[in-house]
Chains A and B, each alone.
Chain A
């Protein structure tokens, strides 16, 4: 890994006292966390602990749910992205997202990747767009497999290929943060290891936040790990430390398989 132990990286995003409510029910309670630049931060915890909800705060995807209310501040650069003045459309161009289930558009492979650059008007010409698509597919490690069938339907790809296509689609817009919501939960072990390798490569360019159910995965790909339980952030630290010397009893119980 590129991280040298002992040297702290710059802080990319800083969440302060984030509370999330679904109607009357509180899903997240006073979560504060500093996300390091160009590293992988894993959110782990049992089902319903609020880790996915927290992830969706970073690109305001919770706006889509009518009953959902987010309080607190999430500072990126010098902007609070939770401020209602911030345009979520602009925000989502900077913070890409990969979802739990591969969700390619029912269009061609090319159209899937080209959609983001197209709606944001990033390409000036057809050839520039072609280059962007090729570049994104290469970064997602999919180019070799689909170079000669860009006009095929994306839904015809295998699950792992579809998920990498979704990653290519997200990075085609040129974000600097990638949110991944259990990106491997619908994939087999081989496809999972391909994606994990990809995450390690992408980490050099992007700040990656990943929600995962698999503790092995968190241990393999992340530098920082945050453990959530019942809507609170229980423990946050270097992955190695969290997994070998957890400070909190709950964390230890979860990691050692006693609860979960």
Chain B
């Protein structure tokens, strides 16, 4: 075969091969297009779920930002409340029947309501805590208004729900929380402009309550913040020290391997187990206070510890060994090399790991239930050993309540929790940026 012929044959073979590839290429392109579509679809699905979730929460919860109030005209009996010097007597105030005052004033405005049964139905329109709220208000100012005074008091949660359109008046009376008569009274009040919707300040300034209109999220938020404070304080230094030891000092061997495996396993232990441990050890053995954010924080610290250790080890390992060698070569001890050079470089990674751990801890309910942070607590905790709840536990309690008004409040509390979480993440990003700029 001559060289020319051979070359022509080679060319023909090459041409054939290229045609084959070109045909296959179409298929390959179609396959990659298909894969791309799947990816986009997956992301869209995830996004739509997120949108559905957020819309549900917001549409259920935003109404809780407002509270229905009612105008009542009343006059304060000076003789029963004022001391000899003319100021409000707190002792008298304590014994005074504020509830009766408000109820009487309210009922007296409906002249046609005579029977006790009707009067009782009428008082169901106003909040059970209206008297207490009024007392708090007066005691805060310390001045007793003279003569006929107009005050705004909260309505009961049922009226609140009705005003927000959450009670359907067309359904059968006995299936409704408010009777036809009560609805008529409310209509009357509305027509006289004696009902208003105002910003629900109580929700952000109070702790839990039996009455939805008096309940707030501050107690749980403070409880969560305190517990997280303890968690960071305990978990961060312990985890960083443990990680530095495991990376730099632990002699390789069975013991170190055993510890490593266990740290990794601990990260996957169900959180309720940590709650049981807290119950048995902190409460049972050491006799620490029940329901306290201190203990809650300790339990959550145990839970977050492995997460932070793993993240810290990973970011320590990501620091180039040349930096460590440089420090060691200058005669720095291993500890100096770790603290002066490796940890500052690893700090952003450690921070991210910590935030992930803390975010996990913030949303954790089960271990807190085990150590009693699920209790009904009406005071905002002032110290780490005061009984308290946490935000996710509060949401859990409210979502389990019968009142419709608690339902919208639990949605609003979820929004508060999400805001808490997002602000924490944003501060982490900012801190991270600051650290990264440093070098």
- Tell me if A96 and B330 are in contact (CB < 8 A): yes
Which segment of B19-27, B142-150, B333-341 sits at the interface?
B333-341
Give the residue among A119, A155, A169 with the most B Cβ atoms within 10 A. A119
Pick the contact of B340: A101, A103, A115, A153 (CB < 8 A).
Answer: A115
Per-residue 0/1 for A93-121: is the Cβ within 8 Å of any B Cβ (1 yes, 0 no)? 10011010101111100000001100110
Chain A residues near B328 (CB-CB < 8 A): 61, 64, 92
Per-residue 0/1 for B357-397: is the Cβ within 8 Å of any A Cβ (1 yes, 0 no)? 00000000000000000000000000000000000000000
| Interchain CA distance A110-B344 in the complex, whole Å | 18
A173 at the interface (CB under 8 A from B): yes
Chain A residues near B330 (CB-CB < 8 A): 92-93, 96, 115-116, 119, 169-170, 173
A interface residues, tally (CB under 8 Å):
28
- Tell me if A107 and B439 are in contact (CB < 8 A): yes
| Interchain CA distance A106-B336 in the complex, whole Å | 15
| Interchain CA distance A216-B329 in the complex, whole Å | 27
With A66-B252, A99-B325, A103-B326 known to touch, is A89 a contact of B345 (CB < 8 Å)?
Answer: no
| Interchain CA distance A106-B342 in the complex, whole Å | 10
Shortest distance in angstroms between B344's beta carbon and chain A's nearest beta carbon? 8
Residue of B nearest to A117 (CB): B330
A90 at the interface (CB under 8 A from B): yes
- Tell me if A120 and B329 are in contact (CB < 8 A): no
| Interchain CA distance A61-B341 in the complex, whole Å | 18
Pick the contact of B331: A64, A99, A103, A116 (CB < 8 A).
Answer: A116
Chain A residues near B341 (CB-CB < 8 A): 105
Shortest distance in angstroms between B238's beta carbon and chain A's nearest beta carbon? 25
B323 at the interface (CB under 8 A from A): yes
Pick the contact of B439: A64, A89, A153, A173 (CB < 8 A).
Answer: A153
B327 at the interface (CB under 8 A from A): yes
Residue of A nearest to B341 (CB): A105
A41 at the interface (CB under 8 A from B): no
Chain B residues near A170 (CB-CB < 8 A): 329-330
Chain B residues near A166 (CB-CB < 8 A): 326
Residue of A nearest to B321 (CB): A64
- Tell me if A99 and B340 are in contact (CB < 8 A): no
Pick the contact of B326: A90, A99, A173 (CB < 8 A).
Answer: A99
Chain A residues near B327 (CB-CB < 8 A): 105, 115
Residue of A nearest to B439 (CB): A106
| Interchain CA distance A119-B340 in the complex, whole Å | 10
A52 at the interface (CB under 8 A from B): no
Pick the contact of B329: A61, A66, A119 (CB < 8 A).
Answer: A61
Chain A residues near B345 (CB-CB < 8 A): 106
A222 at the interface (CB under 8 A from B): no
A59 at the interface (CB under 8 A from B): yes
Chain A residues near B439 (CB-CB < 8 A): 106-107, 153, 155
| Interchain CA distance A91-B331 in the complex, whole Å | 7
| Interchain CA distance A170-B325 in the complex, whole Å | 12
Per-residue 0/1 for A147-185: is the Cβ within 8 Å of any B Cβ (1 yes, 0 no)? 000000101000000000010011001000000000000
- Tell me if B322 and A93 are in contact (CB < 8 A): no
Chain A residues near B252 (CB-CB < 8 A): 66
- Tell me if A119 and B325 are in contact (CB < 8 A): no
Q: Which residues of B contact A (CB under 8 A)?
A: 251-252, 320, 322-333, 336, 340-341, 344-345, 439
Q: Which residues of A contact B (CB under 8 A)?
A: 59, 61, 64, 66, 89-93, 96-97, 99, 101, 103-107, 115-116, 119-120, 153, 155, 166, 169-170, 173
Sorted from nearest, which 9 A-B pairs have the closest CB atoms?
A106-B439, A97-B329, A103-B322, A92-B331, A93-B331, A116-B330, A103-B326, A66-B252, A89-B331
